[in-house]
Amino acid sequence: MHWSNGEEIPDSLGPPGSQERNMTSPRSIVETFVGLADTLIAEFDTIGYLHNLVERYVELLGVSSAGLMLADQRGTLQLLASSDEDLRALELLELQTDQGPCMDSYRTGQAVINVSATEAAERWPDFYPSVVAGGFLTVHALPLRLRHEVIGAINLFRADEEPLSAEAVMLGKGLADMATIGLMQHRTIREQQVLSEQLQFALNSRVLIEQAKGVLAERYALSMRAAFEALRSHARNHGARLSAVAEEVLEGSAEIIRPVG
């Protein structure tokens, strides 16, 4: 097994999920946080990043599996990354039944940690039996949250009943916080790009339309108002955007019928 920089893990750290793993090993935390900083660039592979994140949870917290859900624009949680395929089905069930630690965590913005099997069966009667059938015994969840905004949650599954230590919970929350900031930054950057494109487009359009009015006014001896009306009717009749018609006028390719009267 290799870290992404090509070096091998020292044997003393053991395989993933092992209780002997030193979860606070400097390299793994630094690497995780450095990876999270990548979200600040716009050309950024969200899915790849999320997959890395859930794998980090498995490695660093010693859980069996982890899954990540993010809310879409309508606030509906979507399963975006799972550390293994078997877990996928289980998490999808969580979404379907609308029950489970992830759902609770997302709704309340609180961590759902160390819930006993008995309580889990009571809290999530439609979901928990499948958890057990899937070979897991405990489930936890951490919210992806920044102040008042909760953008998703992380599911953590264990095959045993070992509680998560306070240290593990803190680490988990730290990872979640960094991920949330990164994801929100990325979302903001994307939104800014989209709005910038729209603003630039609208500014261009306005110039083109005014220039086209001038061309038509001169060519057909029209008032600016009549020229604008000619552009508008042509756009309407051809189901085209006003700025597109303006561009055609400037290129000389539009056949604008001179209005009568």
Partner 1 sequence: MSTSRALAILADLQGSQDHQDNVHRLCVACAAALSVPAVAVSVAGRDTAVPSLVGASSPAARKIEDIQFSNGEGPSLEAMSRRRLVLVSDLALEGPPRWVGFTSDALEQGIQSVFAFPLQVGGLLMGVFTLYRDRAGGLSGEKMTEALAYVDATLRILLHLQDGLPLDALHPEIRSGVNAHAGVHQATGMVSVQAHVGIAEALSLLRAAAFAASCALDEVAADVVSKKRRFQPQGGLE
Decide: is 241 part of the binding site for partner 1 (CB under 8 A). yes
Contact between residue 144 and residue 112 where contact means Cβ atoms under 8 Å apart:
no
* Tokens encoding 2: 């290799």
* Maximum CA extent, the chain: 91
Query: Measuring CA to CA, how many Å separate 243 from each of 197, 203, 210, 211, 253?
Result: 15, 10, 10, 11, 14
**Is residue 213 within the footprint of partner 1 (CB under 8 A)?**
yes
16 binds partner 1 (CB under 8 A): no
Q: How far apart are CA 92 and CA 103, in angstroms?
A: 11
Residue 159: name the closest of 83, 94, 63 by CA: 63
Minimum distance from residue 50 beta carbon to partner 1 (Å) = 23
**In the complex with partner 1, which residue's Cβ is closer, 171 or 235?**
235
Pick the binder of partner 1 from 84, 177, 210, 229 (CB under 8 A). Answer: 210
* Phi/psi of residue 102, nearest 5 degrees: -65, -45
Check binding of 193 to partner 1 (CB under 8 A): yes
Distance CA 110, CA 74 (A): 21
The reply on whether position 218 binds partner 1 by CB under 8 A is yes
**CA-wise closest residue to 169 among 152, 159, 154:** 154
User: Of 137 and 222, which CB lies nearer to partner 1 in the complex structure?
Assistant: 222
243 near partner 1, judged by CB under 8 A: yes
Applying CB under 8 A, the site for partner 1 has a residue count of 32
Is residue 195 a contact residue for partner 1 (CB under 8 A)?
yes
Instruction: Give min distance, CB of 251 to partner 1, in A.
Output: 10
Quick one: which of 198, 225, 236, 237 contacts partner 1 (CB under 8 A)?
Answer: 198
Rounded to a whole number of angstroms, the minimum distance from the CB of residue 147 to partner 1 is 13
Is 190 an interacting residue with respect to partner 1 (CB under 8 A)? no
CB 13 within 8 A of CB 24: no
In DSSP terms, 140 is beta-bridged to 156
256 contributes a contact to partner 1 by CB under 8 A: no
Question: Is residue 58 a contact partner of residue 83, using CB atoms and an 8 Å limit?
Answer: yes
Contact between 211 and partner 1 by CB under 8 A: the answer reads yes
Among 192, 225, 237, 238, binds partner 1 (CB under 8 A): 192
Interacting residues toward partner 1 by CB under 8 A: 42, 191-193, 195-207, 210-219, 224, 241-243, 250
